[in-house]
Amino acid sequence: MARRISQQDSLSREVCYVAGLDVAYTKNKSIGAVAILELNSLSLVESHTVCVKTRFPYISTLLSFREVPPAVSVMEALDYQPDVVIVDGHGIMHPYRFGFACHLGLILGKPTIGVAKRPLVGKVGQLNDQNWAPVIDGGEVIGVALTVVEGVKPIYVSIGHMISLGKAIEVVKHCTSNHRIPKPLSLAHSIAKRAQRTIEEERSVSIL
């Protein structure tokens, strides 16, 4: 599947809507959460959650097989369709060059970007004047360590599918402003956690 990933820009128009996607878990359930923002204003356009049964165990480096089902389900429930999707996870910055962002992009046929808090593989190079440093593995640039706020740990950005690294960096930079985590992702994370708490509270009440 990694061989099918496109690292070329395949956007049919300028990016208008960007989605952040995150997955949370509670007992045997997976919660897919998405927040769609208008790119220029970073204002929320639509948000949604979907809860499905977890069907794949946690296995390091194979997390996409666990997270793709709830992610696809929540994307299918949307009214607005984003031009690009930012996921909480890796793209080609992955031992198999096929992280969650790649897997989801391939299934959806949409441009996707992976944003993670720590690298799985690769060595970070020298920081440049654009506040990012290449992450290199086997002589190949597989992503970047992007410093958004001075003195704060970088985030790790990589291509998922149907987008170039340059465009991925541009989109993520626009969505971060003065915060480490891109706004679409931070909103999706909050929405997922809220749904998780609701499900757990309802379960506690039913037990009582």
Per-residue pLDDT of 155-164, as tens digits, reads: 999 999 999 9
Q: How many domains is the chain built from?
A: 1
Q: What is the pLDDT of residues 24-58, one digit of tens each?
A: 999 899 999 999 999 999 999 999 999 999 999 99
Q: What is the pLDDT of residues 81-136, one digit of tens each?
A: 999 999 999 999 999 999 999 999 999 999 999 999 999 999 999 999 999 999 99
134 lies in some domain: no
pTM of structure: 0.95
pLDDT of 92: 98
* Cα 71 from Cα 34, distance rounded (Å): 8
Domain interval for residue 88: 2-119+149-202
138 lies in some domain: no
14 lies in some domain: yes
23 lies in some domain: yes
Task: Give the closest residue to 76 by CA, choosing from 68, 88, 64.
Answer: 68
Q: List the CATH number of the domain containing 189.
A: 3.30.2170.10
Pairing state between β 132-137 and 123-124: antiparallel
